[in-house]
């Protein structure tokens, strides 16, 4: 470090006058020269991902949804600090403007033949869709008006504190009934602060829900299964309770099982063998315990079956993950009938021990590593 400087080397090493804070750890990886070069290499006129999935409409009928993940400037909270688990900053560019975002929108329509067959459009911007510091208001208005005029059901994402009365009235005027998905992650202020570094409280989420309801906008609530610094058994217990607490206030509850994204704090924990992704069996048990709920429960295990996503032993992963995905569309608990595997006993033992043995990170074994390797230093 340069003498007399109070800056941090990549945000990791504090100076004598600047103590290390959690946002230094969050920001460290994305501030490296290699990370910056990679972000700047993306084509700002092309969306990160465009894909279609089966979708269940509020009236119970089945349709298709198109998801568009835009390359944006990222999240305001990430600019200031950032969540422990979110690696969306890996796909953003600092210089994305109005023309770039409009070009991405047109590219998404081209890829899907103008959203052919889709009645639902999901817009993800690695942040808050209607935050003016992240996305130009002109672009927001163009998306809101076009999807409304075409009769498309629109789902956008937002942080709780961004759902202000003024902005929600503005959104509702341009797309009445728009669905706003709020990333709550945990209905527990201690978990939000110390496990997730989320940057807002459950009180702010409640205020956002009230504002959305006042403007006749639909509420979708995201929860995170197994935040860092939590055992498998604790994650199952807490997430079941969180679903029961937030579902009466939400039209939909979407549970996202942890998947380990590059350059995050969870990524560091995983590489040092201090975090294990959740079991797929835990997701099945979670669904069984809360089914049925008020509204709709959605569980999408991203990277299911892979070492960095929710997984089991490797033999049953495909079948269990497929059943979870089917349930998210059909809402039929019978999707899990007939599922079984030898590893289910190992999972059940881990859940039982997590509730009786005071082990901060749980007692479970690494399901994709030999015993010899798991005992070696990382």
Can you give the C-alpha Rg of the chain in angstroms?
21
Phi and psi torsions of 154, nearest 5° = -110, 130
Q: Are 141 and 111 in contact (CB under 8 A)?
A: no
Domain that holds residue 193: 42-375
Q: What is the pLDDT of residue 93?
A: 84
Residue 161 sits in the same domain as residue 223: yes
Residue 110 sits in the same domain as residue 191: yes
Q: What is the pLDDT of residue 357?
A: 85
Q: Give, in order, the Cα–Cα distances in Å from 56 to each of 120, 216, 254, 297.
A: 9, 20, 13, 11
Q: Are 52 and 65 in contact (CB under 8 A)?
A: yes
Residue 150 sits in the same domain as residue 115: yes
Residue 15 sits in the same domain as residue 90: no
The CATH code of the domain that includes 329 is: 3.20.20.70
Residue 160 sits in the same domain as residue 222: yes
Residue 58 sits in the same domain as residue 20: no
C-alpha–C-alpha distance, residues 122 and 290, integer Å: 26
Domain contains 36: no
Q: What is the pLDDT of residue 43?
A: 84
Angle (nearest 5°) at CA 174 between 172 and 179: 50
Residue 5 sits in the same domain as residue 105: no
Domain contains 58: yes
Q: Are 197 and 86 in contact (CB under 8 A)?
A: no
Q: What are the start-end ranges of the E strands in the chain? A: 49-56, 62-69, 120-124, 153-158, 179-185, 218-225, 252-257, 296-299
Residues in the chain where the model's pLDDT stays below 50: 1-14
Angle (nearest 5°) at CA 277 between 339 and 128: 110
Q: Does this model's pTM top 0.75?
A: yes
Q: What is the pLDDT of residue 54?
A: 93
Residue 317 sits in the same domain as residue 197: yes
Q: In b/e form, how buried is each residue of 248-257, taking b as 16+ CB within 10 angstroms?
A: ebbbbbbbbb
Domain contains 37: no
Number of domains in the chain: 2
C-alpha–C-alpha distance, residues 341 and 177, integer Å: 43
C-alpha–C-alpha distance, residues 201 and 269, integer Å: 25
């Amino acid at each position: 470090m340069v003498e007399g400087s109070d800056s941090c080397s990549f945000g990791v090493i504090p100076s004598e006058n600047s103590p290390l804070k959690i946002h230094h750890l969050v920001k460290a990886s994305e501030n490296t020269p290699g990370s910056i070069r990679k972000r700047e290499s993306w084509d700002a006129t092309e969306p990160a991902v465009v894909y279609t999935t089966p979708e269940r409409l509020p009236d119970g009928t089945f349709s298709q949804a198109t998801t568009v993940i835009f390359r944006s400037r990222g999240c305001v909270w990430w600019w200031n600090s950032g969540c422990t688990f979110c690696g969306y900053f890996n796909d953003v560019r600092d210089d994305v403007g109005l023309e770039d975002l409009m070009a991405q929108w047109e590219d998404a329509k081209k890829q899907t033949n103008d959203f052919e067959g889709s009645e639902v459009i999901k817009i993800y911007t690695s942040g808050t869709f209607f935050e003016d510091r992240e996305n130009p208001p002109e672009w927001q208005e163009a998306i809101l008006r076009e999807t409304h005029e075409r009769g498309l059901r629109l789902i956008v994402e937002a942080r709780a504190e961004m759902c202000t009365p003024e902005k929600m009235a503005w959104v509702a005027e341009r797309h009445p009934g728009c669905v706003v998905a709020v990333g709550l992650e945990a209905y527990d202020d201690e978990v939000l602060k110390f496990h997730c570094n989320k940057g807002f409280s459950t009180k702010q989420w409640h205020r956002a829900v009230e504002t959305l309801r006042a403007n006749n906008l639909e509420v979708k609530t995201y929860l995170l299964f197994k935040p860092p610094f939590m055992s498998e058994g604790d994650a199952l217990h807490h997430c079941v309770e969180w679903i029961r607490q937030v579902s009466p206030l939400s039209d939909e509850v979407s549970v996202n099982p942890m998947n380990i994204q590059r350059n995050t704090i969870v990524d560091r924990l995983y590489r040092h063998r201090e975090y294990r992704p959740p079991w797929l069996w835990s997701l099945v048990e979670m669904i069984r315990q809360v089914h049925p709920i008020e509204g709709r429960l959605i569980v999408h295990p991203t990277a299911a079956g892979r070492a960095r996503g929710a997984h089991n032993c490797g033999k049953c992963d495909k079948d269990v993950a497929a059943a979870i995905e089917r349930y998210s569309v059909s809402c039929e608990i019978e999707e899990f009938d007939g599922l079984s595997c030898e590893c289910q006993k190992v999972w059940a033992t881990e859940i039982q021990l997590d509730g009786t043995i005071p082990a901060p990170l749980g007692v479970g074994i690494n399901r994709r590593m030999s015993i010899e390797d798991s005992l070696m230093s990382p």
